[in-house]
Amino acid sequence: MSYLIENIQLIDIPKISDPDGRGNLSVIEKDFLPFKIKRVYYLYDVPSDSTRGGHAHKELQQFLIALSGSFDVVLDDGMKRRIITLNRPNKGLLIPNGVWRELENFSAGTVCLSLVNEEYDEEDYIRKYSDFVLFKRT
């Protein structure tokens, strides 16, 4: 996949506000993401001093949403690093394959939703940063 890490941005998720002030509704439907969702999982009760992620994927694409709370996503393409904060349930982060990601600085009560285009496959993971750098050079 051809991309610049600087171009990875938060994506607005459609938000429908109730006219009677009863809250908001956000919807992700079939053509919103550039992939078909094959797996959904979420992180919660993550201690604020913990880090999640710490890997890259060869093929998998991921869309992250902070359903509640906030956390930082550290993105790394092997040459540049960038940090994006997720803290709104109507904004998500599309992470293409071939990008190292770490999730950190979780606030209390954070729930992180992950929508991905592949079922779990350990062979798709690059878990050592040195292996990731080699992968990016090939």
75-99 burial: b if 16+ Cβ within 10 Å, else e? bbbbeeeeebebebbbbbbbbbbbb
> Cα(9)–Cα(3) distance, rounded to whole angstroms?
12
Length of the chain: 138
Q: Known catalytic residues?
A: 55
> Cα(44)–Cα(54) distance, rounded to whole angstroms?
17
> Cα(25)–Cα(136) distance, rounded to whole angstroms?
39
